[in-house]
Amino acid sequence: MYLFAGLGNPGTQYQSNRHNVGFMAVDVMAAAHGFSPWKKKFQGALSEGAMNGQKVLLLKPQTFMNESGRSVGEAVRFHNIPLQHVFVFYDELDLEPGKVRVKLGGGAAGHNGIRSIAAHITPEFKRVRLGIGHPGDKNMVMPHVLGDFAKSDREWLVAMLDAVADNAPMLIKGDDSQFQSAVHLKVNPSPLRDKKISS
């Protein structure tokens, strides 16, 4: 069994925040792969389905970002899910918008959701970092993260979320680098790819 947890804050006032891109990722995933309707469980919203013949749980903790570990920890312990099968999708300031990176373990880099999960299940889980870009001034970080995506972000954001959802089965297979490449190609299509060669 695998757990894909998307991080964010519950409530309509937060739903379009950059900080909620983890929620957005698992929402698109649930729709793309025909998962079950969301239900309340593990102090979160839970959807169940399968990828690559493996059972997958999608989880959106409803504990607010800083307490994400309470929800994730409960699901992991209840189902005895191996830590290498736990993938957490969340916003990453230090990646350019639309860039995605996967890594195992490491520090929290100032992300309170990741810090909370590490405290509840240890840091040895997979992180899927979804780039939202840095505002360029540390004093602007909080309003940037808790601000809504701009209309100008829509093109790359939709491309990234669709690519993450479409290629999520690669994560089950352990093809992290192939997953990253596939997302990159969708967000940054080659200008030559669709060009017709004239004779």
Q: How many angstroms separate the CA atoms of 142 and 155, rounded?
A: 23
Contact 86, 121 (CB under 8 A): yes
Contact 88, 114 (CB under 8 A): yes
- Candidates 19, 85, 111, 144; catalytic one: 19
User: How far out from the chain centre does Cα 41 lie?
Assistant: 19
Q: How many angstroms separate the CA atoms of 195 and 152, rounded?
A: 25
Helices (H), 62-123: 68-79, 112-121
Question: For the chain, what's the residue count?
Answer: 199
Phi, psi of 60 (to 5 degrees): -120, 100
| Residue 19 a catalytic site member | yes
Write out the catalytic residue numbers: 19
